[in-house]
Amino acid sequence: MSLLLRHIPAFSDCALADLADETPWALTAAAPAVVRRLLDRLGTDFCLADEVAVHRSARIEPGAVLKGPLVVGPRCFVGHGATLRGGAWLEEACTIGPGAELKASFLFAGTALAHFNFVGESVVGRGVNLEAGAVIANHRNEWPGATVAFRYDGALIETGLPKFGALVGDGARLGANAVVAPGAILRPGTVVPRLGLVDHGVPPDLR
């Protein structure tokens, strides 16, 4: 079973189902192209302009910045000052709170970025909650020029990419001001405490 299906079982029944065998980092690297393909499949319940599709039941507050390609699904909420860019997809009933930023990422139903969060190049499962200030980082600033590599189940995973955030399993919880460093896989139900750090990264000289 693929990593995506192990951590987000509903992946097999969503609009991305044909990509279930991809690695999470391959999916996020191709986010703009993937979301553009989804735009072509949407029904009349979406309002589409400039590669931004918003379901008629979604609510977008004034001051939010929506940059295509982007799909905002049914009953989603995007708060004032939030930014969505780089190819993003919100399945259903997702919340992007005030001041939060989502980039090149895929959010499954019922997931919430409370406010002042950053999530980059990530796949986030159903019912995940990020408290205020929690971050899923996507780039190793301390290792200039290095691609993202990390350990999972004792094995070294080399993405070959300069940016990748995380695969976050269903029902995970990130406390306020927690940080997930670039390159992580969080199992379903994972709880990261407030001010916690998840760092599975491997420096270039140890690979």
Q: What is the pLDDT of residues 158-201, one digit of tens each?
A: 999 999 999 999 999 999 999 999 999 999 999 999 999 999 99
Is residue 190 within 8 A of residue 169, CB to CB? The reply is yes
Q: What is the pLDDT of residue 16?
A: 97
Q: What is the pLDDT of residue 185?
A: 98
Q: What is the pLDDT of residue 197?
A: 98
Q: What is the pLDDT of residue 93?
A: 98
Is residue 4 within 8 A of residue 167, CB to CB? The reply is yes
Q: What domain range includes position 190?
A: 3-206
DSSP at 181: -
| pLDDT tier at 73, thresholds 50, 70, 90 | very high
Q: What is the pLDDT of residue 91?
A: 98
Cα(156)–Cα(202) distance, integer angstroms:
8
Token code pair at residue 145? 């020029």
Sole residue written with tokens 């270039």: 204
| pLDDT tier at 102, thresholds 50, 70, 90 | very high
Q: What is the pLDDT of residue 167?
A: 98
Number of domains in the chain: 1
CATH number at residue 81: 2.160.10.10
Cα(30)–Cα(34) distance, integer angstroms:
6
Cα(40)–Cα(165) distance, integer angstroms:
27
Q: What is the pLDDT of residue 132?
A: 98
pLDDT, tens only, 115-169: 999 999 999 999 999 999 999 999 999 999 999 999 999 999 999 999 999 999 9
Which residues are CB-contacts of 141 (< 8 A; sequence separation ≥ 6)? none
Which residues are CB-contacts of 59 (< 8 A; sequence separation ≥ 6)? 76, 77, 78
Q: How far is CA 120 from CA 1, 42, 46, 154, in A?
A: 25, 24, 25, 25
Is residue 35 within 8 A of residue 87, CB to CB? The reply is yes
Cα(53)–Cα(145) distance, integer angstroms:
35
Query: Average pLDDT of 73-87?
Result: 98
Q: What is the pLDDT of residue 69?
A: 98
Q: What is the pLDDT of residue 165?
A: 98
Q: What is the mean pLDDT of the chain?
A: 97
Query: Average pLDDT of 25-33?
Result: 98
Cα(132)–Cα(130) distance, integer angstroms:
7
Is residue 16 within 8 A of residue 35, CB to CB? The reply is no
